[in-house]
Structure 1
C-alpha cells in the first residue's frame, strides 16, 4: 500500500528546486568572471539562494526518515537507497563527463577520465548532493538501529553539526556527513516533535522573525567584504544561518501550498525534483557557454535565458523521458526493480 503524499512537502521540493536552478544560473555567471561590473550583485544573489536551498532539501528528505529496525532490515534499506540514489548518480556522472569532453576548452574545470573513475570518493559537480545523501542514509540508518528516539538522534546530529562548524575534518565525506546529517535529522525531528504544527499555527511571527534574522545576517555578511558564498564544506560560524532557512521553509511552505494554482504547479514539479536537479545543471552551463560564444554579454539576457532554458528545458526532457518505457530507469530505477528487491 502506497503512503499518502504530503502535498506541502512536494510543493517544498518543487519550489526549492526552482531556487536551485536560479542559484546555479547566478553562480555560473559569477564564476565565469565575464561580468565584473556585476560581480558584487551576483555574489549577493548567489548567497541568498545558497543559504536556503540545499539545507532545506536535506531537511525535506529527512522528513520521511524512519529508524531501521535491525541489521537484517538494514540490508534491504541499504540496497534500496543504493539503487534509488546510485543509478541516477552514475548516470549524471557519465553524462557530465561526456558533455564536458565535448565542450573541450569552453568548459571550466572539466572532469577527466580519472575524475570519472573516482566518483566513488569524489562526486562530480551537483551530483555531490546525491552522494552525500546516500552516505547520510547509511550512517543515520546504522545509528538508528540502536538509537530510536528522535530527540536523541537530533542531539547526536546537533553535536556532529557543531563539530563540523568549529572543528572541521579534512576528509571530504566525513565533514559532509557531519555537517549535512543535522539538516536531514532536523526535518525528521520537526515532524516527530510536532513542531511543524506549531510553526504552522504561529506562522506570521515566525516568518517575520526568520526573515528578519536572515536580512540581518546578509547585511552583516555583505559588510565583511566576502569573496565567495558560505562554504558548503567548512562554513564555520556562518553555517548557523542555514537552520534559520529550514525553519522559514517549514513555516511558509504549508501556507504557500494553499494558493491553488501556485501550490498545485510546484507540487507536481516536486514529485520530479531529483530529475530537474540533475538535468538543469548541464542545460544552464551549455546556455551560458553558447551565449558567451555568440558574444552576448548582457547579464539580463543570460539570467532570463539561463533560467527559462534550465527550467523548461528540464521539464521538456522529463516529459520526453516519461513517454518512452524504461528510458526513465536512470531516474526512477525502483519503478522497475521494486518487485525484485522486496
Structure 2
C-alpha cells in the first residue's frame, strides 16, 4: 500500500510540474487553460507537502528538522539563483550593458526575492514560501493544541485576505504591480495563505491517502460547476498566490481543494492500472524543471519558433538533461538538487 501511495504522489507532482511549465507559456491560449491552472496548481503543491508533514515534539529534534528542510530547499534555491544570475549577467555584459547601477538594482531585487524578481526567476517565490510555511506549521504544531492551531490558521487566512484587499482594491492596478507595492522579503507574507493549504494536507491526511468515489464525485461537481459559471460570466475567479490575489473568501478554499481532490483521486485510480513512470521521472527532476524552464525559453526563443507543445517539451526535457548532468558531474550534485538526507546516528554494539 505504501508503494502505491508513493507512486500516485510522484505521478501527481509530476503532472503538476508540467502544469507549472504550461502556466508560464508566454503566448496566447485559445482556451483559458492558464487561468484554470492557476486556480489550483500551486495550492495543490502545498497540500501535498502538508500531507507528509511530521510534527516535531521533542525539543532537541527541532534544530535538525529545520536544518534538513533548509538543505533541501534553500541550498538548491541559492545554487540556481547564482547560476541563472551568472548566465544573465554574462549575456548582459556580452550585449554591452556595463551600467553598474543596473547590476546593483538587480542584485537588490534578487536579495529581496519573492514577487520582486520576474522573468527567469518567476517561480523562485514558491521555494522560499514553502520553507517559511514549513517553519510556521512546525511552530504551530509544537506550541499549540489542535484547537488553537485552527484558530491561528483562521487568523492567518483572514490576514492574507485583508492584505489582498489592500493590494488589489486599495492600491489597485495590475496585480503584479499592486503586490510589489507591499514590501516583503522572500514572499514571507504569502506563507500566511500557503500554511492553510499545507494544513489541509496534514489534517485531512486520511482523506487524501484514499480519495473515495464520494469525494471524487463531489470534487468533480464543484470543479465543473466553477468552470461552467466562469465560462458563463457568472463569476470571474482568479487566484495568484505569488501576487497576493485571493478573490473570494470561500472559493479560495473550495475551488483549489475540489480540483486537487479530482487530480489526486484520478491518479490514485490510474496508477493501479498503469505505471505512468514517465510522470514519475518528471517528478524526480522537478526541481530543475521548476527553476530552469523559463530560462530555457528565454535562451532559445530567438532561434526557434515553437508553440505550446514545443515550449512545454523544451521546458521539461532540457532541464531533465541539465539535472542529470548536475547530479553526475558536479561535486555534491545531489545536494544541489535538494537530495539532502541527514546521516542516521548509529549506536555502537555493546561489548
Task: Pick the TM interval, shorter chain.
Answer: 0.7 to 0.9
Q: Does 1:252 align with 2:278?
A: no
Q: Tell me, what secondary structure is at the counterpart of 1:339?
A: coil
Aligned to 1:329: 335
Aligned to 1:214: 226
Inter-CA distance 113–333: structure 2 relative to 1 (3 Å threshold): farther
Q: Does 1:76 align with 2:81?
A: no
Q: Does 1:274 align with 2:284?
A: no
Inter-CA distance 167–118: structure 2 relative to 1 (3 Å threshold): closer
Inter-CA distance 49–252: structure 2 relative to 1 (3 Å threshold): closer
Aligned to 1:160: 156
- Conservation of the 8 A alpha-carbon contact between 2:47 and 2:202: yes
In structure 2, what is the Cα distance between the partners aligned to 1:131 and 1:184?
14
Aligned to 1:200: 212
Q: Paired residue for 1:313, among 287, 306, 318? A: 318
Q: 1:100-147 CA distances to partner (integer Å, 9 max, x unpaired)?
A: 22443799xxx8454435645324421111111111111221222112
Aligned to 1:237: 247
- Conservation of the 8 A alpha-carbon contact between 1:21 and 1:307: yes
- Conservation of the 8 A alpha-carbon contact between 1:203 and 1:252: no
TM-score by length of 1: 0.77
Aligned to 2:296: 283
Q: Paired residue for 2:309, among 304, 307, 322? A: 304
* 1:48, distance to aligned residue in structure 2 (A): 1.8
Inter-CA distance 308–175: structure 2 relative to 1 (3 Å threshold): same
Q: Does 1:54 align with 2:42?
A: yes
* 1:330, distance to aligned residue in structure 2 (A): 0.9
Instruction: Specify every segment of 5 or more residues in structure 2 that has no aligned partner in the other structure, as ranges.
Output: 167-181, 347-351
| Greater per-residue helix proportion | 1
Q: Paired residue for 2:128, among 131, 137, 146? A: 131
Inter-CA distance 223–252: structure 2 relative to 1 (3 Å threshold): closer
* 1:198, distance to aligned residue in structure 2 (A): 6.9
What is the correspondence of 1:46-195 to structure 2 with a 5 Å cutoff?
46-104=34-92, 112-116=103-107, 119-123=110-114, 124=117, 125=121, 126-149=123-146, 152-168=148-164, 170-172=182-184, 173-191=187-205, 194-195=206-207
Corresponding pairs, count? 310
In structure 2, what is the Cα distance between the partners aligned to 1:57 and 1:97?
26
- Conservation of the 8 A alpha-carbon contact between 2:56 and 2:62: yes
* 1:81, distance to aligned residue in structure 2 (A): 1.2
| Aligned alpha-carbon RMSD (Å) | 3.4
In structure 2, what is the Cα distance between the partners aligned to 1:279 and 1:341?
36
Inter-CA distance 250–154: structure 2 relative to 1 (3 Å threshold): farther
Moved more, 124-133 or 153-162: 153-162
- Conservation of the 8 A alpha-carbon contact between 1:84 and 1:333: yes
In structure 1, what is the Cα distance between the partners aligned to 2:227 and 2:16?
19
TM-score by length of 2: 0.75
